[in-house]
Amino acid sequence: MHAAHTLVPLALLVAAATAGAQTEITPVLINGQPGPFPGSLSDIFETPAISDNGLIAGLALISNTPPTGTTTGAIAYGPAGALAYPAFGTGPVPGAPGETFSSLLAPLINAQGDVTFQGIITLSANVDDSNRRGIWFIEADTPTLVEPVVRGGAPAPGTLSSFGFIDGIRLNNAGQVCFFASVDGPDVIQQNNRGIWTTVPGFPEFSVLRARGRDQAGDLNAFIDQIFPEFTVFSDGGEIVFLARLFGGDVTDFTNDSALLYAGPSGLEVLQYETEPAPGLPFNFGGIGSEYPSINASGVAAFYARLDGADRDADTTIYRGMPDNLELVLREGDEMPGMPGVFIDEFSQRPLIADNGDVILTGSLTGAGVTPDNAGVLLRCAPGSITIIFRNGDLAPGTALTFSGGVRFAIGRSGRVHFTANLGNSSVGLFAEGDPSAPVLVARIDETVDIDPSPMAQDLRTVAVIESGRRVSGADGRQVYFSTNDDVVFEARFDDSTSGIFLANVGASACFGDFDQDGDVDLGDFGVFGAAFGSTSSDPNYNPLPDFDSNGLVDLGDLGVFGAFFGSTGCPN
């Protein structure tokens, strides 16, 4: 897939391309292409995740699946251009002879390419609502072997009960699965009917209970009443951070009934608790609401916290650390380094922490020179350090447009950020950090692209919607969309209602003018340019590929861009 043009002035375009601000893009799957069965078609919905060795895992929609010929969900897994479908709805259930899947949920993939997913089994004489849900696992070394991890109705380790409803799975880079489940049995009452388990490294069929309702909440005089799977993260070392509602002991009402708990090598500990002192500040932590914690590979967590009794314009904070070792990262009202009179106004309740300890979050500024058009920022923070990744009103790299809000971001395994953001009044772009201080353009709305992988053919389409992953860090057990090899995976939908999944490598600069994709800009490409030179969009010889500034003319400005790259070699293909 090749960018046919970008809306940038000549000088900016040359500068951006020279700095690697334009990326080479490869199709993973064009929706509607042939599927794995005779007469079937394949679509991927929701952006798939990526491993560090180039494997993709996502949920596909396959038509004409056997034996019924219906359209069902399937696990799509493999390298770009060679996806396999190791499990699909109506297909056989590994570990349950004679049973078939009814539906599947989106898979997770870790750095080395292990995959896990949830499935629901079709009701039958041996399957009812108590045992139809389960988790399955695929090791990267055996990509066609799907193994059961756990299933409803099976004995729940650490209890006298059996698993019931299973949900909230996470997968770390050690190959461990973390999951939330309800239990049913003789030792179950309302307050202990849910828990969190993790599998044993190297043995996904064995799991260990890590926390359960009615467990003591660390060293607090209180007990777990409710566990929230959506507010649960899982590190490469097996540490778990989760939001819990508490009861009993010192709990009096809603002002002190919530905590972030940390399940680590020392057992269950308190990471943050309402009413406890906020380290480094003369205040206590205030109420915990719907705050999403984050965790990195080393088990260092980051979270949003309110302060009780602080001024309203300085009562929110970001902390990072481990139990009994928290440090303040950011507080509302902090002055921006190097920007006298400019202060942090507010920030997101969803900070993400990278493996190096940096915390990434969105926020807004106030103070000298700040207007509604330039207040929004994406920040990289550490104690005593705040860096702006981008700010509304700044020129977006690789475009002639400015950032205008609407940011959705995630962290890749390398700790670098990728994000979508509004551009100007009507466009949206996808960007990724080529290094910690240089976001580069991956793709944007209204861009015409060539999705045909062949160097001698074209299939031009105009981007209408761009989607990529968001709100995940590179090592918290959830999907990852940006690998350590600089690959970003994303979905693009086009103005002709077609769509597809694509892979962009932000470590490689594209060469403007390599129209035949043979790795250089040479006389063959000059022939393509010359055939279109002087044409307008209404002429039969018009070609949008050499119309670099997208003004409907292939003119002297475009010739200047082509000339700047003429003779380039080593272009990504």
| Residue-wise pLDDT tens digits, 383-414 | 989 999 999 999 998 888 999 999 999 998 88
Rounded to the nearest angstrom, the gap between the alpha carbon of residue 383 and the centroid of all alpha carbons in its chain is 25
pLDDT of 510 over the 60 cut: no
Q: Which residue has the tokens 């050499």?
A: 546
Per-residue pLDDT tens for 245-264?
999 999 999 889 999 999 99
Per-residue pLDDT tens for 186-196?
888 888 999 99
pTM of the complete model: 0.84
Q: 160 and 186 in contact (C-beta within 8 Å)?
A: yes
Pairing of strands 427-433, 439-444: antiparallel
Q: What is the pLDDT of residue 436?
A: 56
All residues at 6 or more sequence positions from 573 whose CB lies less than 8 Å from its CB, including other chains? 24, 455, 514, 517, 518, 519
pLDDT of 6 over the 60 cut: no
**Residues β-bridged to residue 148:** 136
Per-residue pLDDT tens for 67-76?
888 889 999 9
